Chains A and B, each alone.
Chain A
Amino acid sequence: MKIIYHCFGGSHSSVTAAAIHLGMLPTHRLPTSQELLAVPHFDKTGKNDFGIIREMGIDEYGNQVYVLGKKHLGERFNWVLQGMACLMGVEQELVVVNTMVYVNWIMMVRGFLSRRAGVPLVGRPLVCLGTRRAYFDLAALVKTVKIKVAH
């Protein structure tokens, strides 16, 4: 099974969810900023990474976990990927998870500072704060995904 977590930039909420899924981050407590920043791909998306499915790792059940930045493709993107999987005949092997629903305004401000205003360092403490605020929601989402995948 391949699991793709996707969000706007593919560098914060999706990466955090994938890291929780893979056990790189704890589920019972908030991670520190250092722990978040140590996660591969966290806050490191370049403009050429949009649309590229990047591997995060393999979970304890052998499922491959990926992240993806979709920019403005919105809610429909789940169906785009699932539809493509159907055409390829692999719909049973793919789970697509939208993490945008848990992105808060702090994370959005950070995205703006980084991508539009070009000041990534100023936004780094903000993204850790925003991610920590959304953290337990993302952990709950991952738990749901793991249950779904197990069945």
Chain B
Amino acid sequence: MNILILGTSGVHHTLIAANMLLDRFKGELTTMKGYCDTWLDRSGCPIYVGTDRDGHRVYTLGVGRELKVARKALGSMLELFRDSPHQVVVTEITIQGELWIRMAMLCSHLPWGRRVNELISGRVLRGQLPRIQSQVERLRAQIGLASGEGGNHGALLERVAQ
């Protein structure tokens, strides 16, 4: 099964969630591969983060401010390719202060922008870790249910945010 974690950014809170899901997150943000890499995020391709012990491949995807539209489009894709060979579970992670993250990403184009991005994002994200953790716990439960359903069809999970 492939797990796609959707968010406004694929290299901030969604990346933390993916690392938490993989039991890799130790509280240090800057050591995560791809963290605050806005060029990676802007490509639009799902970012592979790792594979969990059950063999689920975990990806993140950042879609900017049009999260709702992207979510609907990916849901439509799942409907369109109902008999696809690989099962994909799409879920969404949200935090408070996403506007700050978006502003921090804009700073990336400036000199020292990456560092500014890391500083602002770090400040926002550290305060949101409990919220992300709780969403990841819910996601784990939902993945367990989706895995037990059988068949190859994907699923668009209910938003796991509070």
Residue A31 at the chain B interface, CB threshold 8 Å? no
A87 at the interface (CB under 8 A from B): yes
Complex Cα–Cα for A94 and B86 (A): 15
Task: Determine if A51 and B45 form an interchain contact, defined as CB atoms under 8 angstroms apart.
Answer: no
Q: Pick out which of these stretches binds chain A: B68-76, B98-106, B107-115, B131-139.
A: B68-76
Question: A9 to nearest B CB, angstroms?
Answer: 11
Across the interface, which residues of A come within 8 angstroms of B35, CB to CB? none
Task: Choose from B70, B78, B154 the contact partner of A80 (Cβ within 8 Å).
Answer: B70
Rounded to whole angstroms, the CA-CA distance of A89 and B84 in the bound complex is 6
Which range holds the interface residue count of chain A? 20 to 34
Residues of B within 8 A of A (CB): 2, 4, 42-46, 59, 61, 63-66, 68-81, 84-86, 88, 154
**Can you show 22 pairs from A to B with CB atoms below 8 A apart?**
A51-B68, A51-B72, A51-B75, A69-B69, A70-B66, A70-B69, A71-B69, A76-B42, A76-B43, A77-B44, A77-B73, A78-B44, A79-B45, A84-B74, A84-B77, A85-B77, A87-B2, A87-B46, A87-B88, A88-B2, A89-B86, A90-B85
What is the interface of chain A, defined by CB distance below 8 A to chain B?
Answer: 2, 50-53, 66, 68-90, 93-94
